[in-house]
């Protein structure tokens, strides 16, 4: 592994570590994600400090050069992270769909509950008319008394 690649790996590791620490302090990065990126930085640092490790691993995997192994490993790790994020996004979408359905059902129940008192007041007004004699004239008097203040029903 060339000295240039080693320097690049160290710089990328330091910049990534700085960004991770900054996001953790701002509380904008979850612990699970930060652990992945901390491990990613640690692997890059190990490879840049100890060039024998990627050379040995590239021999096991069968890549021609340690640089190819490092690129292959980075691509593999990023694909794994992408998969994890896709699974997490799917779970969040399912939760969102469930919450939307619950909110819609709650609103529907609230609308029904608001309609019931109106229907109940209409029913109780008609029952009041029936108690006063049940004729249409007394119901009209009751309705006009409700709409016009100061008007007495049945001469009271």
pLDDT in tens for each of the 156 residues of the chain? 678 878 888 898 899 889 888 888 888 888 888 888 889 889 988 988 888 999 999 999 999 888 899 899 999 999 999 999 999 999 999 999 999 999 999 999 999 888 876 655 555 555 555 444 445 555 455 444 444 444 444 443
pLDDT at position 126 is 53
Nearest to 48 by CA among 18, 10, 12, 14: 10
What sign for the dihedral angle of Cα 140, 142, 147, 151?
Answer: positive
Which position has the token pair 């160290």? 10
Query: In angstroms, rounded to a whole number, what is the distance separating the alpha carbons of residues 17 and 40?
Result: 9
pLDDT at position 108 is 92
Query: In angstroms, rounded to a whole number, what is the distance separating the alpha carbons of residues 87 and 64?
Result: 34
Q: How many helices, marked H, and strands, marked E, lie in the chain?
A: 5, 0
pTM surpassing 0.85?
Answer: no
Domains of the chain by residue range: 2-111
Query: In angstroms, rounded to a whole number, what is the distance separating the alpha carbons of residues 18 and 87?
Result: 27
pLDDT at position 155 is 45
Query: In angstroms, rounded to a whole number, what is the distance separating the alpha carbons of residues 145 and 152?
Result: 6
Tokens in use for 131?
């108690």
pLDDT at position 85 is 92
User: How many other β-carbons are positioned within 10 Å of the β-carbon of residue 52?
Assistant: 10
Q: Are 20 and 34 in contact (CB under 8 A)?
A: yes
Query: Which residues, in sequence order, are CB contacts of 151 under 8 Å at separation 6+?
Result: 144, 145
Query: In angstroms, rounded to a whole number, what is the distance separating the alpha carbons of residues 55 and 98?
Result: 50
- The separation between the first and the last C-alpha atoms of the chain, rounded to the nearest angstrom, is 105
pLDDT at position 101 is 95
């Amino acid at each position: 592994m060339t000295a240039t690649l080693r320097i690049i790996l160290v710089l990328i590791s330091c910049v990534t570590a700085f960004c991770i620490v900054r996001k953790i302090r701002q509380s904008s990065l979850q612990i699970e994600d930060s652990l992945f990126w901390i491990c990613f930085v640690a692997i890059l640092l190990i490879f840049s400090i100890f060039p024998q490790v990627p050379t040995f691993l590239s021999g096991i995997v069968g890549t021609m050069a340690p640089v190819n192994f490092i690129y292959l490993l980075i691509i593999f790790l990023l694909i794994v992270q992408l998969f994890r994020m896709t699974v997490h996004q799917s779970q969040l979408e399912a939760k969102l769909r469930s919450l939307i359905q619950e909110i819609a059902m709650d609103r529907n129940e609230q609308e029904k509950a608001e309609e019931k008192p109106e229907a109940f007041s209409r029913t109780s007004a008609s029952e009041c008319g029936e108690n006063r004699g049940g004729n249409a004239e007394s119901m009209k008097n009751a309705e006009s008394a409700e709409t016009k203040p100061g008007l007495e029903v049945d001469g009271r």
